Amino acid sequence: MTELTEHIDLTVPVETAYAAWSNFELFPNYLSFVEEVTPGADGKHHHWRVKIAGAEREFDTELVEQIENERIAWKSVGGDEDQSGVVTFHRLADDASRVTVQLGWKPEGLVETAGAALGIDNHAVKSDLENFKKRIEGSASEARGSDSDVRGSDPDLAV
């Protein structure tokens, strides 16, 4: 099992970071490997379509823990991927937060195994966290400029 931990500090309240991250259907907007996330009827299950090292994969996940503004944990429950993870949200100040991502997965095949050994996965997650930061901080900045609600300033981040 391959594991990684990455974090990023944001200049938005923890509530804003959590609200944006918990809207899984928006992941394709800032997570480079995610093609689509479709929620199940129960709100705990999601169907994922991803592209890893050029190969398209599909799998299902189950939320095993979700504490508002604190953490989201999941595990795969079927499909092409064997993975689990947790994202935690930390209040640094009233207008600052840290998002920490911990992932564990089983690489498939030579390309994924080599990529994991070379740390390519860590680089990809770090890059995707930077994309998330740009997206959410840009939305928050626009909202402050117009005195509107942060989540309402970007229709993609509306919750």
Length of the chain in terms of residues written: 159
Contact 12, 140 (CB under 8 A): yes
User: Under CATH, domain 2-148 is a member of which superfamily?
Assistant: START domain (3.30.530.20)
Position 47 confidence tier, pLDDT thresholds 50, 70, 90: very high
Contact 30, 127 (CB under 8 A): no
How far apart are the C-alpha atoms of 6 and 155, rounded to whole Å?
27
Instruction: Please say if the pLDDT value at position 159 is more than 70.
Output: no
User: What confidence tens digit (pLDDT) does each residue in 26-46 have?
Assistant: 999 989 889 999 999 999 999
Position 158 confidence tier, pLDDT thresholds 50, 70, 90: very low
pLDDT at 140: 64
Residue carrying structure tokens 């919750």: 159
Mean pLDDT of the chain: 82
Q: Which residues are within 8 A (CB) of 74 and not within 5 positions of it... i.e. 6 or more apart? A: 61, 62, 63, 64, 84, 85, 86
Q: Which residues pair with 67 in a beta bridge?
A: 71
